[in-house]
Amino acid sequence: MDPLELLNERMNDFPGYATDTDRRLSDEMVRAFLGEMLADLQVKLAPLDPEVGGQIGELMFRAGFTNQIAFRPYESVELSDAGIAEIASADVRAIDLADVAATVRRDGLPSFLAEVTAAFDARDAAMRSLAATGS
């Protein structure tokens, strides 16, 4: 199954990446998915060490707002099939973390949060790459 099919299977009404509006909605849906996962972890594993709690807070902030630096140049680029597969793969990597989150224990939380940070970074990098190459 290709990444776009996986996203459609995991998220109801996933719009894809064909238009500017679709990309905005897709970005919002993936970030919301991650934000809800982080909020659930925050409750499940409370009370948290202040440093780890701060990391979750920073990631929830990232989940709540579009990274305009990465998104603005990307939103209106015409994407090839390869470009769609690239951004969809980054989004699949991000939402797959929800499956892992269910098994995270307090002692594994810092490394899991590093994975979430890497997933956000990968999404941003994919958007910047697609904007730079115009594909």
Query: What local confidence, expressed as pLDDT, does residue 43 receive?
Result: 94
The better pLDDT of the pair 97, 133 is held by: 97
Interval 35-74: pLDDT, tens:
999 999 999 999 999 999 999 999 999 999 999 989 988 9
Instruction: Count other Cβ atoms within 10 Å, centred on residue 113.
Output: 18
Interval 78-95: pLDDT, tens:
888 899 999 999 999 999
In sign, the C-alpha dihedral spanning 36, 18, 125, 131 is negative
Cis peptide, bond prior to residue 73, ω within 30 of zero = no
Model confidence at 76: pLDDT above 90 = no
Q: How confident is the model at residue 132 (pLDDT cuts 50, 70, 90)?
A: confident
**Encoded tokens for 76:** 């209106």
Model confidence at 135: pLDDT above 80 = no
Query: What local confidence, expressed as pLDDT, does residue 117 receive?
Result: 96
What CA–CA distance (Å, rounded) separates 4 from 35? 21
Domain boundaries, the chain: 18-133
Model pTM score: 0.91
Q: What are phi and psi of 51, to 5 degrees?
A: -65, -45
What CA–CA distance (Å, rounded) separates 56 from 49? 11
